[in-house]
Amino acid sequence: MFNKEFLEGHDIIPAFMPVDLSADVNIGDRINLQNYDRCLFVLLASIGTAGDDPVISAQQHTAATSGSSKSLNFRRIRHKVGATDIDTTGQFTLVEQSDAASFDTDSIDGAENQALIAIEVMAKDLDTDNGFTFVSFNVTDVGSNSQLGAGFYILQGAGYVNEIQQSSIA
CB 32 within 8 Å of CB 39: no
What pLDDT is attached to residue 169? Answer: 73
Q: Is pLDDT above 80 for 64? A: yes
What pLDDT is attached to residue 119? Answer: 97
Mean pLDDT score across all residues of the chain: 90
- The domain ranges of the chain are 6-156
Least confident range of 8-12, 65-69, 80-84, 163-167: 163-167
Residue 84 and residue 63: Cα distance in Å, rounded? 40
Helices (H) and strands (E) in the chain — how many of each? Answer: 1, 12
**Residue 2: pLDDT band with limits 50, 70, 90:** low
pTM of the model: 0.90
What pLDDT is attached to residue 83? Answer: 78
**For the segment 84-99, what is each residue's pLDDT rounded down to a tens digit?**
778 778 899 999 999 9
